[in-house]
């Protein structure tokens, strides 16, 4: 057993003295990988490579990216306690009433916006403190965390678990050392003093960010976003299709235990094994789900052609759009496809008759329709 991977500093918070933890800079001084770990690393890298290769040969990666980002937003937010489902999010995005409190689904919607913003900014800005602050601003904007200084590093002591710092399970660095700790993490993210294998970098960086806990709220969600952003920025995946939130949620106790044990016992190898196992499982699952979606699209296309015959043309064009955005409204589709609204309405009714599409709610005007099979596949495990 190595012992703590940082030092403690006594600080005063809410009228009591507490021991705040300041992590050592990355990488760990002695990171030992056993033979079995090399096998895990190879399996994880191969699975990630297969996922990336699969995405690269798709005629339109947007067919999967839209759904995968929203699925991740739901799962990551559920870890923090929201009750929103994928259907709630998609309904909210289409101005329909979700089945949960608006605050819950708005929080999930912010996650989508924050991730999409971060991916776009990576084209002009390196993965850095500045970028993380900008993403954090979008993550908490106009939501329950809107009063927790969106985009601003914390200026007060926070803690994890317990009702106050004095009985907390973990107390992150005091405010005056947050920038110093983040600065060291930024250097590691940018391959200073030297490059580090991408998956190991993602694993170590996630722990370090969660340990620093640099914001008053949203640290868990942003820490999970950091994994995907790093994989994309390093070219490990071309499209944002790998997310570990479901794995972390399924193995929640082990996940939180390992985060803490890295800090107190230095069990980096145990954490890496857990992380690599997650990458492998999630990448394999992502390819399987992607294949199922593509098979669904093809099967439904054949059904439309065989059942509708000469009337299939408009319905097929609508079906193509539903593969990209599974919730649609008639005016939006008409504008996108340059087809009249009555023709779109007829095509949707035909797809409903084949049970491929259904209407959300019972409104007579401004109706929203959704692709039943697509939503069913994405909803699994959420």
Q: Where are the domains of the chain?
A: 6-288, 300-375
Each of the 382 residues of the chain gets a pLDDT tens digit; together they read 578 899 999 988 878 889 999 999 999 977 765 555 778 899 999 999 999 999 888 878 887 898 899 999 999 999 988 888 888 888 888 887 777 778 888 999 999 999 999 999 999 999 999 999 999 999 998 766 667 789 999 999 999 998 888 899 999 999 999 999 999 999 999 999 888 999 999 999 999 999 999 999 999 999 999 999 999 999 999 999 999 999 999 999 999 999 999 999 999 999 999 999 999 999 999 999 999 999 999 999 999 999 999 889 999 999 999 998 888 899 999 999 999 999 999 999 999 999 999 998 777 778 889 999 999 998 887 7
Strand partners, 329: 368
Rounded Cα–Cα distance for residues 34 and 56 (Å): 33
Burial degree of 260 (CB within 10 A; 0-12, 13-18, 19+)? middle
Burial degree of 362 (CB within 10 A; 0-12, 13-18, 19+)? exposed
Rounded Cα–Cα distance for residues 287 and 185 (Å): 31
Rounded Cα–Cα distance for residues 285 and 245 (Å): 13
Contact 98, 105 (CB under 8 A): yes
> Where do we find the tokens 């098979």?
295
Report the topology of domain 6-288: Fic-like fold (1.10.3290)
Contacts of 167 (CB under 8 A, 6+ apart): none
pTM above 0.85, yes or no: yes
Instruction: State the architecture of 300-375 in CATH terms.
Output: Orthogonal Bundle (1.10)
Name the DSSP letter for residue 177: G
Q: Is the dihedral of CA 140, 143, 145, 146 positive or negative?
A: positive
Contacts of 227 (CB under 8 A, 6+ apart): 202, 205, 206, 243, 244
């Amino acid at each position: 057993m190595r012992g703590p991977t940082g030092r403690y500093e006594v600080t005063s918070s809410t009228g009591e003295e507490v021991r705040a933890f300041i992590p050592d800079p990355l990488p760990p001084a002695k990171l030992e990988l056993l033979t079995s770990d090399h096998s895990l690393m190879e399996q994880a890298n191969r699975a990630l490579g297969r996922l990336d290769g699969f995405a690269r040969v798709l005629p339109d990666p947007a067919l999967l990216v839209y759904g995968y980002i929203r699925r991740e937003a739901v799962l990551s937010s559920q870890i923090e306690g929201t009750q929103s489902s994928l259907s709630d999010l998609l309904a909210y995005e289409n101005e329909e009433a979700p089945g949960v409190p608006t605050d819950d689904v708005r929080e999930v919607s912010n996650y989508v916006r924050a991730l999409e913003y971060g991916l776009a900014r990576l084209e002009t800005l390196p993965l850095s403190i500045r970028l993380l602050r900008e993403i954090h601003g979008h993550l908490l904007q106009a939501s329950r965390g809107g009063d927790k200084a969106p985009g601003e590093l914390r200026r007060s002591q926070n803690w994890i678990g317990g009702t106050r710092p004095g009985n907390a399970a973990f107390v992150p660095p005091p405010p005056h050392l947050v920038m110093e700790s983040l600065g060291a993490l930024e250097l590691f993210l940018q391959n200073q003093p030297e490059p580090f294998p991408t998956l190991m970098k993602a694993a170590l960086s996630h722990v370090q960010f969660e340990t620093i806990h640099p914001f008053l709220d949203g640290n868990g969600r942003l820490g999970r976003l950091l994994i995907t952003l790093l994989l994309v920025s390093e070219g490990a995946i071309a499209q944002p299709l790998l997310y570990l939130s479901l794995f972390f949620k399924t193995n929640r106790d082990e996940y939180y235990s390992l985060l803490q044990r890295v800090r107190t016992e230095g069990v980096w190898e145990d954490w890496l094994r857990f992380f690599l196992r997650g990458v492998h499982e999630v990448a394999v699952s992502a390819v399987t789900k992607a294949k199922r979606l593509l098979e669904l699209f093809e099967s439904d296309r054949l059904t439309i052609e065989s059942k509708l015959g000469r009337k299939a043309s408009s319905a097929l064009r609508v079906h193509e759009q539903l593969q990209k955005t599974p919730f649609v409204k008639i005016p939006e589709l008409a504008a996108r496809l340059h087809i009249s609204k009555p023709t779109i309405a007829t095509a949707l009714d035909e797809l409903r008759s084949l049970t491929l599409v259904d209407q959300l709610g019972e409104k007579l005007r401004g109706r929203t329709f959704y692709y039943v099979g697509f939503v069913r596949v994405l909803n699994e495990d959420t």
